[in-house]
Structure 1
Amino acid sequence: MDRLQAMQVFTRVVDTNSFTKAAETLDLPRASVTTIIQNLEAFLGVRLMHRTTRRLSLTPDGAAYYERCVRILADVEETETSLQNGNKKPHGKLRIDMPGSIGRTLVIPALCEFHTKYPDIDLQLGLSDRPVDLLQEGVDCVIRVGALQDSSLVARRIGLFEGVTCAAPSYLERMGEPMTLDDLSQHRAVNYFSSRTGRVIDWAFLVDGKEVEVKMNGLVSVNDADAYLTCALEGFGLIQLARFMVLPHMRSGALKEVLPDWKPLPMPISVVYPHSRHLSPKVRVFVDWIAEVFDRCPLLSGRQSLEKTCSKRTFEELENAPALDTPVISEWLA
């Protein structure tokens, strides 16, 4: 029995909570994964997990063995990396997920640069606005906005999300332009609802350094950022979206910013990955590269915008906080 492979298979089964998903992410037949786990349990002389048709759960021995396997595999990968020839580049399959708006606007146009640097990495890029479970779905890392709520993940800040409130001129001609937050009670918004909970998400503004939520009325609700933008362009109502997404339409006159003195709270953008994969060379080079891509984008690198939008105290709190969360923004780019 190849004990190192057995450890890799076992940890992947635990991470994905599925023999089938583990087999898919490891490019192994499901029967092979089952056999490897059975042989591992026989070799160790203990039961590592309880298996039913619907779920898996670790035994106490399995939980202890999993923690040790994670550390051993990380040490092995770090050792191998340190001994690699300097000209040998990272290789293998790398699964990434990010919001469609960021992927299409910023990342995909720069992918040729990444492929030139790392031609042996097979990049699988998922574009979606839905929350992705990295461990369950076998994803190596994701780009997210807002709070990191899962303690099993590591986050590196790479940029800043700056929101803007705007609407189509056709809507403003019919309904008038709001001049204060109180005026919003007389207006309609294109609402955004959570893919996870189905709940319509309230808007949030920065007022005197504090976040103020506003519940908006609306006739249309969507759960996709591109659909959200399209509804605004068609005159269905006000929206609150990332400046980098609406700027071309504002410049063309298709959208107009409203309430410029009350802006949404800027939110950190992070690249997030599991603790167990933080030493992977292919993950490391992607994280470093995507940080450079964001740093070159003025609308998303964000430091000057953050300093202008926030008070000094609020800016310091944002810089020092582990992560921040404004639901409407976090859900769009989760």
Structure 2
Amino acid sequence: MDRFEAMQIFVKVVDANSFTKVSEMLDLSPAKVSRTVQLLEEHVGARLLNRSTRSVGVTEDGAVFYDRCVKILADVADAESSLSTHKQKPSGTVRVDTSGTLARALLIPALGSFYEQYPDIEVRLGLADRNIDLFQDGVDCVIRMGSIEDSSLVARAMGRARIVTCASPGYIERFGEPATLEQLSEHTAVNYVSARTRKNFPFDYLVNGELTRIEMKCALAVNDGSTYIGAGCKGYGIIQPSRYMVADHIANGELKEILTNYQCPSTPVSIVLPHRRNLSPRVKAFIDWFTELARSNPDLQAS
């Protein structure tokens, strides 16, 4: 059994959810495709696929093995591409992990320009505010806000996100607009709780160069960025988000910046990479594109 060929066939079967489609795609007999996967299962000592007369489904072990196979096949393709004497357009799949809020506010609106430059690259977005193992999860890069604690990874700074304090017009109409930090004690906040650390994000300000942390009453705490912003728009309390995430809400009047005389500490935005891997052309293309996207956004230029 050619293990490399077997992995290719296995990946295609999972993608197509069909032995027959893969046999037609590769011009192989269905028996050959089925037998190859069976030999692969015997070799790894685990059942990779659940088969029935109508469908093919990947097992739990098969899903783990599939992710590793995809990574191995991509690495081989990158190695072959790097040795090519002809300049080719980058192609293949880039696996990117980030938060849902960042994806919706920054990536999704701009991805059209990426596809115009790189029509042969597929971007697979994983949306989770959690710690990612770039090696085990087969992720090419992670876009994260905040400090990066894992010293085994490489973090490339993309900019620093401006942080603002906001409230909805409805909230201000009901409770008034605070003019000083001292007045915040009379108001209610929507709290954001990190799904990764389970820690609450406090309201922070820089006063005479010193960090000042404000404690406020809380009626609602959430661990999802979009829900956090939505709760602020609904008037459930004051929020302190990254400005680029609420720029449209501010522009259309759903939110209003308040306490503009006070500066909030900015938050670093980084692309995180596994240090031991060379960048493939497609990953480099994505990183270069995102770097330019960050540079062009005025809300990511705070120092």
Does TM, normalized by the shorter one, top 0.5?
yes
Task: Report the residue type matching 1:125 in the other structure.
Answer: L
Q: Is the 8 A contact 2:193 2:222 kept in 1?
A: yes
Deviation at 1:88, TM superposition (A): 1.7
Specify whether residues 31 and 148 from structure 1 end up closer, same or farther in structure 2 by C-alpha distance, changes over 3 A only: farther
Give, in whole Å, the separation in 2 of the partners of 1:110 and 1:267. 21
Structure holding more helix per residue: 1
Q: Is the 8 A contact 2:106 2:244 kept in 1?
A: no
- Post-superposition Cα deviations, 1:221-240, rounded to whole Å, max 9, x if no partner, equal 11111111111111111000
Q: Is the 8 A contact 1:140 1:277 kept in 2?
A: no
- The residue number in structure 2 matching 1:198 is 198
SS class of match (1:241): coil
Q: Is the 8 A contact 1:77 1:279 kept in 2?
A: no
- The residue number in structure 2 matching 1:170 is 170
Give, in whole Å, the separation in 2 of the partners of 1:141 and 1:33. 30
SS class of match (2:240): strand
Give, in whole Å, the separation in 1 of the partners of 2:37 and 2:215. 50
1:101 has 2:109 as partner: no
User: Which residue of 22, 25, 35 corresponds with 2:43?
Assistant: 35
- The residue number in structure 2 matching 1:127 is 127
Aligned ranges for residues 170-189 of structure 1 at < 5 Å? 170-189=170-189
Give, in whole Å, the separation in 2 of the partners of 1:232 and 1:106. 19
Deviation at 1:269, TM superposition (A): 0.9
Q: Runs of 5+ in structure 2 lacking a partner?
A: 8-13, 16-35, 46-60, 62-73
**Percentage of identical aligned residues:** 44
- Post-superposition Cα deviations, 1:230-254, rounded to whole Å, max 9, x if no partner, equal 1111111100011122233333333
Give, in whole Å, the separation in 2 of the partners of 1:164 and 1:33. 54
- The residue number in structure 2 matching 1:252 is 252
Task: Report the residue type matching 1:35 in the other structure.
Answer: H
Deviation at 1:29, TM superposition (A): 6.7
Q: Is the 8 A contact 1:190 1:221 kept in 2?
A: yes
- Post-superposition Cα deviations, 1:40-80, rounded to whole Å, max 9, x if no partner, equal xxxxxxxxxxxxx9xxxxxxxxxxxxxxxxxxx99x98875
Task: Report the residue type matching 1:233 in the other structure.
Answer: C
Q: Is the 8 A contact 2:190 2:219 kept in 1?
A: yes
- The residue number in structure 2 matching 1:114 is 114
Q: Is the 8 A contact 1:77 1:280 kept in 2?
A: no
Task: Report the residue type matching 1:113 in the other structure.
Answer: S
Q: Is the 8 A contact 2:142 2:272 kept in 1?
A: yes
Aligned ranges for residues 53-92 of structure 1 at < 5 Å? 80-92=80-92
- The residue number in structure 1 matching 2:156 is 156
Superposition RMSD on alpha carbons, in Å?
Answer: 3.4
What number of residue pairs does the alignment pair up? 252
- Post-superposition Cα deviations, 1:80-118, rounded to whole Å, max 9, x if no partner, equal 555323432333322111222332233223323322333
SS class of match (1:137): coil
Deviation at 1:36, TM superposition (A): 6.2
- The residue number in structure 1 matching 2:269 is 269
Specify whether residues 31 and 240 from structure 1 end up closer, same or farther in structure 2 by C-alpha distance, changes over 3 A only: farther
Task: Report the residue type matching 1:166 in the other structure.
Answer: C
Decide which moves more: 217-226 or 116-125: 116-125
Deviation at 1:133, TM superposition (A): 3.2
1:222 has 2:222 as partner: yes
- The residue number in structure 2 matching 1:284 is 284
Task: Report the residue type matching 2:43 in the other structure.
Answer: T
Give, in whole Å, the separation in 2 of the partners of 1:94 and 1:197. 27
Specify whether residues 267 and 108 from structure 1 end up closer, same or farther in structure 2 by C-alpha distance, changes over 3 A only: same
TM-score with structure 2 length normalisation?
A: 0.71
Give, in whole Å, the separation in 1 of the partners of 2:169 and 2:40. 60
Deviation at 1:153, TM superposition (A): 1.2
Give, in whole Å, the separation in 2 of the partners of 1:202 and 1:285. 36
SS class of match (2:241): strand
Give, in whole Å, the separation in 1 of the partners of 2:168 and 2:219. 16
Aligned ranges for residues 138-157 of structure 1 at < 5 Å? 138-157=138-157
Give, in whole Å, the separation in 1 of the partners of 2:149 and 2:106. 26
Deviation at 1:263, TM superposition (A): 2.4
- The residue number in structure 2 matching 1:241 is 241
Task: Report the residue type matching 2:147 in the other structure.
Answer: A
Specify whether residues 229 and 296 from structure 1 end up closer, same or farther in structure 2 by C-alpha distance, changes over 3 A only: same
Give, in whole Å, the separation in 2 of the partners of 1:81 and 1:266. 40
Deviation at 1:291, TM superposition (A): 0.7
Q: Is the 8 A contact 2:106 2:245 kept in 1?
A: no
Q: Is the 8 A contact 2:130 2:196 kept in 1?
A: yes
Deviation at 1:31, TM superposition (A): 8.0
Task: Report the residue type matching 1:156 in the other structure.
Answer: R
Q: Is the 8 A contact 2:129 2:194 kept in 1?
A: no
Give, in whole Å, the separation in 2 of the partners of 1:131 and 1:295. 26
